């Protein structure tokens, strides 16, 4: 009670004022999600094995896992496939939780024991938060037998030497060789290659052969006339003998004999006297000498 002096002999009492108590608001404590994992054993895996990984996510409040953030089955790497993903609602210590089970398959063909790492993945919650499932690893081993050490005693003796049966091979080789030579000869003859290339024309050589085979003097003379016609590229008469010898000087030593031959032929074939002498030997001799000059021999 507070007493106030207002005047002589006068007192007035005022009520006491108490302050209102202060109310404190405690901030809401955010509960973070918890992750508990159960990974496969860390060793003893081979190519083709399937590994099951489980992750228990304790959710905060009423949050839920966004389905689209769950890992979808797919090839994760060239050696690892995610085969399946399943989600199961559960409770952990009185709180809401989800159990995420993933099944993996390894295709790593190891040549020696080696550790492979499975990557982590993230989950999105409905309250906007995220939670990461950590990665894990395992050791994969080769599936091949242990190499047995070799010893000299394991070697077998050398096989006996047997002569090769090469008779059939030799015969086949000879046959193919002969066939190749015949084919080459036929091609050379067809293409007029050496030695099948025709040589220079020798009309007097052919005339000498024909005169030698002729039965009488008239036949020998006709054969030699054909030789002169061929060598002159046109029929040769007695009046053209001088021009022929001038054009073919190699026959100049026989110019007199050639003129005498044409004179005898004129008498034989065009004269009134049909009883011409038998000069077959002279005609054949002239043909041989002309053939010799034609071949370059006197």
Average pLDDT over residues 69-97: 94
Q: Comparing 205 with 199, which gets the higher pLDDT?
A: 205
Phi and psi dihedrals of 216, rounded to 5?
-145, 180
Q: What is the pLDDT of residue 226?
A: 92
Fold entry, domain 34-140: Immunoglobulin-like (2.60.40)
Lowest mean pLDDT among 54-63, 81-90, 163-172, 206-215: 163-172
According to the per-residue pLDDT averaged within each range, which of 8-12, 49-53, 263-267 is highest?
49-53
What confidence tens digit (pLDDT) does each residue in 93-133 have?
889 999 999 999 999 998 899 999 999 999 999 999 999 99
Instruction: Please give the pLDDT value at position 218.
Output: 87
With 60 as the cut, is the pLDDT of residue 151 above it?
A: yes
Domain boundary assignment for the chain: 34-140, 203-294
Matching residue, tokens 């769950």? 70
Which of the two residues, 190 and 52, has the higher pLDDT score? 52
Looking at residue 88, its pLDDT comes to 95
List the strands of the sheet with 80-92, edge to edge: 34-38, 50-58, 95-106, 80-92, 74-77
Q: How confident is the model at residue 176 (pLDDT cuts 50, 70, 90)?
A: very high
pTM, entire model? 0.42
What's the mean pLDDT in 225-252? 91
């Amino acid at each position: 009670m507070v007493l106030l002096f207002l005047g002589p002999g006068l007192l007035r009492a005022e009520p006491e004022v108490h302050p209102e108590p202060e109310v404190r608001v405690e901030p809401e404590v955010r509960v973070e999600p918890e992750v508990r994992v159960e990974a496969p054993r860390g060793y003893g895996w081979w190519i083709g094995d399937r590994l099951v990984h489980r992750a228990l996510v304790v959710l905060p409040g009423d949050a839920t896992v966004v389905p689209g953030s769950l890992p979808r089955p797919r090839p994760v790497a060239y050696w690892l496939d995610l085969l399946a993903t399943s989600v199961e609602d559960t409770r952990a210590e009185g709180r809401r939780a989800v159990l995420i089970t993933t099944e993996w398959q390894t295709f790593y063909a190891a040549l020696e024991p080696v550790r492979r790492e499975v990557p982590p993945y993230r989950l999105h919650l409905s309250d906007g938060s995220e939670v990461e499932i950590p990665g894990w690893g395992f050791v994969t081993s080769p599936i091949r037998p242990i190499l047995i050490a070799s010893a000299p005693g394991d070697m077998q003796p050398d096989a006996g030497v047997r002569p090769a049966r090469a008779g059939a091979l030799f015969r086949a080789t000879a046959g193919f060789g002969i066939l190749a030579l015949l084919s080459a000869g036929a091609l050379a003859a067809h293409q007029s290659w050496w030695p099948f290339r025709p040589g220079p024309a020798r009309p007097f050589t052919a005339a000498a052969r024909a005169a030698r085979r002729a039965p009488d003097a008239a036949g020998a003379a006709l054969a030699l006339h054909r030789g002169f016609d061929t060598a002159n590229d046109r029929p040769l008469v007695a009046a053209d003998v001088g021009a022929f010898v001038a054009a073919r000087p190699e026959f100049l030593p026989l110019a007199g004999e050639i003129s005498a031959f044409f004179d005898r032929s004129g008498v034989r074939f065009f004269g009134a006297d049909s009883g011409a002498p038998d000069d077959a030997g002279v005609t054949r001799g002239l043909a041989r000498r002309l053939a010799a000059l034609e071949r370059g021999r006197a």
